[in-house]
Amino acid sequence: MLAFMLAALVLAPACADNGSEDARFTDPFAYCTEIQDIDAPDERYVGEAVPDAVVEGIRIATGASADAPVEFFRDGTSWRCMDGEVYACTVGANLPCQAKADVSEDPSPSMSEFCVANPDAEAVPAAVTGRETVFAWACDGSKAVVERQVFQVDGRGFIAEIWYRLETPGG
């Protein structure tokens, strides 16, 4: 009986209470299965900020070598739930993991200023457009214009190409 009680205490945090508002999770995969869609873990997730399963999952998903420093992924990775699955993004080269995609086709004031100063520029740099935009921008004369769409938007509004669906460990 004591063994059963200890097992229940150890396993309880990782298990959902079938929709209970009081359910707590330490396993991101169990959490996402229950929660379905959320842009960042909330108070119901009580495990490590970036658990080992997410670190290993993003390492595999990005094709990084097995000897890549764990700290790189643990320190720079965000994870969330979409359609009951765990998705992760690692900041890498200034990727906007925490931000929703910018789908506006209206130029920002900084883009307009850039094009006034650089008429007919073939590209408006990301430092000016912001890294959240899904478009490549250029200058048509002194006017900032969308050249083409370069990223897709996922079902939660993030840039799809920088988020990876992680496989459930052992699944």
Same domain for 125 and 62, yes or no, is no
* C-alpha count within 13 angstroms, C-beta hemisphere, residue 126: 9
Within a domain: residue 114?
yes
Same domain for 114 and 90, yes or no, is no
- The answer to whether 66 and 26 are in contact (CB under 8 A) is no
Same domain for 125 and 52, yes or no, is no
Same domain for 81 and 7, yes or no, is yes
Within a domain: residue 103?
no
Return the pLDDT at 11: 44
Q: What is the mean pLDDT of each run of 10 residues along the chain (171 residues)?
A: 39 45 91 98 98 96 92 94 98 88 98 98 97 98 98 98 94 67
Within a domain: residue 127?
yes
Within a domain: residue 90?
yes
Same domain for 11 and 61, yes or no, is yes
Counting the structural domains of the chain, the total is: 2
Return the pLDDT at 92: 75
Sign of CA dihedral 82, 83, 84, 85: negative
Same domain for 83 and 137, yes or no, is no
Within a domain: residue 101?
no
Within a domain: residue 51?
yes
Within a domain: residue 61?
yes
Same domain for 126 and 53, yes or no, is no
Same domain for 82 and 9, yes or no, is yes
Give the domain extent around 119.
Answer: 109-149
Return the pLDDT at 20: 52
Same domain for 125 and 68, yes or no, is no
Within a domain: residue 102?
no
pLDDT by residue (tens digit) across 99-110? Answer: 999 999 999 999
pTM > 0.85: yes or no: no
Q: Rg for the chain (alpha carbons), in Å?
A: 21
Same domain for 50 and 88, yes or no, is yes
Same domain for 124 and 86, yes or no, is no
pLDDT by residue (tens digit) across 56-91? Answer: 999 999 999 989 999 999 999 999 999 999 999 998
- What span, in angstroms and rounded, lies between the C-alpha atoms of 8 and 51? 21
